[in-house]
Amino acid sequence: MMFRFQNVDGQIFRVAELAHMGGEGRDPQEEEGGDKRKEYTHSVPILDQVVRSAVSNRLDLCCVVEYRAMSAMGLAYVSKKRKVARMDLANRALCFAYRNPPPGVEKTPFKDIVKLVKKKDGSRPKIGAVAEAASSFKNVAGTIGRPPGSKKTTKPEDRKLMQTFKKLRPPGAGVDARAVHSALPKKIKGKISKRTVIRRLADKGFKPEKKINKSDPGPALALKRCAWCRKNSDKDARQWKAKLHAVGDIKEFTYYPEELQARFQKLRAPWTYMTKAEKKLPAFVRPKRWFPRKDWKKVKKQKVFGFTTSNGKKLAFFVPKPWSTEQWAVAVKKNVKPFLKKAFPKVKTFTLLLDGEKLLHGPAARAAFKDANIKIFPEWPKYSPDLNPQENVWAWAEQKLRKIEKSGEPFEVFRKKILKAVRAYPSAEKLVGSMAKRCRMVLDAQGAMLQK
């Protein structure tokens, strides 16, 4: 038997003449460019297993040794395929023709055909290769896969799959193919893949669709949005960052007790498998409240006010409940004014874009703005969250928060994680500059609400 090994230092040698497992192998190593030869002898009792069958004769090995045995010797197994020239299509056709002549003509012996045909490298094929070509030249390869029109699943299995899907996905609940596949009976799950689940759902009209999140702003508001965007469409990202110092908004985060979290995770999903008809049903529109009133009373809420400056600085603080315009005026003096002065030490007057909530623009708030040399960006169209870049922070922070929260943790721990998630937003320096692109997109959409 012959083995081919490569030592860990890269030296290649052969061990030939293995009389038995306890014997020694010995073979001189051939070197290029001379008659010098080196001998290598190695005892092989450490080879604790030789694979039972020989490797195909196309390899320059006659058997394979278990890797761990070679590792113990400091050797690595080297597998090298021998390049074998073959006959081209014309020579294979000749082999077939000589062995399958017309009626009345004798078959040409194999040994004579060998002299009449050649391989691609010009050498003569062996009799076995000629025989193989003569017998298989006209063989047509069988079709791969299932016959056309057949399915991997039976009709009862399809019914079971759909029952599992509908059980996991009540109207409006988020579910993906992985969840459906995992919930299938063991026999069906072992037979099909997630791709088959996707195909069977598509056969029934259930395809992944985003839920409707925002309603049409209506013709009057659409005109106002277009007018505002048209007025500010001459600014590029750099000009927006020079003109607008910060954007701000309020966000309410909700704490769900342990018994409601699993259902919340399903209902808040931004997409799920649904039919075109289902997409317009109320259950498939992301709701303001996820639970009945009796369950809704179990949740707790925490409002946060967030600011993001054009140079990437972030401010976030809790909002008391209830909150009035007078309390907001105090927050402007204690939180917002010092934050802006620190973020822009050379700027005397600050321009902010705020949401349209009334308490943010009440008499006490206006007085606090004047005292802090703050101007509000004019004529911002109300009910336009897509034109306030701070909304991007809220969407990102919501997802981050749901990833880091743990089931059963107390509300106070949840509150701390809110600020941690908000302050971790990674693209703060790009937010204000994105107003240029937002204005162009609103104009292109003729005032329609921009979808995420």
Q: Is the pLDDT of residue 141 over 80?
A: no
Strand residue runs (E) in 85-221:
207-210
Q: Is the pLDDT of residue 44 over 60?
A: no
Q: Is 95 exposed, middle or buried (0-12, 13-18, 19+ CB in 10 A)?
A: buried
Paired sense of beta strands 271-274 and 207-210, if any: antiparallel
User: Tokens at residue 351, please?
Assistant: 């321009």
Closest CA to 117 of 136, 90, 84: 90
User: Tokens at residue 227, please?
Assistant: 């007018």
Question: Phi-psi region for residue 421, left (φ > 0), alpha (ψ -120 to 50) or beta?
Answer: alpha
* pLDDT single digits (tens) 322-345: 889 999 999 999 999 999 999 999
The number of angstroms, rounded, from the C-alpha of 383 to the middle of its chain's C-alpha atoms is 33
Q: Is the pLDDT of residue 215 over 60?
A: no
* Radius of gyration from C-alpha coordinates of the chain: 38
Q: Distance between CA 393 and CA 434 in Å, rounded?
A: 13
Mean of all residue pLDDT scores within the chain: 79
Paired sense of beta strands 374-376 and 350-354, if any: parallel
| Residue type, position 150, single letter | S
* pLDDT single digits (tens) 235-271: 999 999 999 999 999 999 988 888 777 767 666 677 7
Residue recorded with tokens 């299932």: 146
Least confident of 105-109, 277-281, 308-312, 391-395: 277-281
Paired sense of beta strands 24-29 and 38-43, if any: antiparallel
* pLDDT single digits (tens) 371-380: 999 999 999 9
| pTM of the entire predicted model | 0.55
* pLDDT single digits (tens) 83-123: 778 899 899 999 999 999 999 899 999 999 999 999 999 99
Answer whether 24's CB lies under 8 Å from 39's CB. Answer: no
Which residue did the predictor score with more confidence, 307 or 407?
Answer: 307
Work out whether the CA dihedral 413, 419, 422, 423 comes out positive or negative.
Answer: negative
Between the ranges 85-94, 278-287, 361-370, where is the mean pLDDT highest? 361-370
Answer whether 388's CB lies under 8 Å from 249's CB. Answer: yes
Answer whether 295's CB lies under 8 Å from 264's CB. Answer: no
